Amino acid sequence: MHKTSEIDIEKDIIKENSIIANDNSKLLKKYGIKSYNVMGAIGSGKTSLIEIAIDALVKKGKKIGVIAGDVVAEYDSNRFRKHQCLVIPLNTGKECHLDAFLISHELEDLEERGILQDLDYFIMENVGNLICPSDFTLGEDKRIVIVSVSEGDDIVLKHPIIFRFSDICIINKIDIAEAVDANPEKMERDCLSLNPKIKIIKTSVKKNIGISEWLDIFG
């Protein structure tokens, strides 16, 4: 009985999150804002790739808001502040993921202050984790999961859920694949075995590989 109650509570939380995420999506679409939920483990290269996207979009005259999700620190927030974008540090405390409720508060605050209306893009960098964020949509247009070859080429099959429910997978740091004895092609095959519809891009920030394809995601 007790175990069943815990499962019911979990389902209710996820269901409630989905309802709020839908409201977030409606609010973002109301102002024509494109939104992205960028997920991945610590060290996968999320922040570096987002920085590249910010700079490219700014050159096109676009205005970007960035949520920097983290448990307690503001390392990524400080990196984003070096770029021309609105930075919103969002510490989750004990929680290992962002959720729609947290995002809704930030969106409502930005709308009340007349800031949200001016944005073209809203990028949410999730907490560094491949497990917790998978169940919690935020109201995004696209869910992006970033993995690095340094995590091992079995990383995809070890964390299947996040790949099943993502729209795009970035296999990053492919320039060091041989050095860490990882096979990017295996990682791609594993992704497609879990989600045949997922778009896969292999990248290296250092070698400028796949960066144009990464930027194409943002239009």
For residue 163, give the CATH number of its domain: 3.40.50.300
Mean pLDDT within 183-191: 98
The count of domains in the chain is: 1
Domain extent at residue 169: 2-216
Residue closest to 24 by CA, chosen among 65, 61, 57, 77: 65
Q: pTM of the full predicted structure? A: 0.92
For the chain, the helix, strand and coil percentages under 3-state DSSP, each to the nearest 5: 45, 20, 35
pLDDT averaged over every residue in the chain: 93
pLDDT digits (tens, 9 = 90+) for 35-58: 999 999 999 999 999 999 999 999
Give the whole-angstrom CA distance, residue 131 versus residue 39. Answer: 10
Mean pLDDT within 148-172: 98
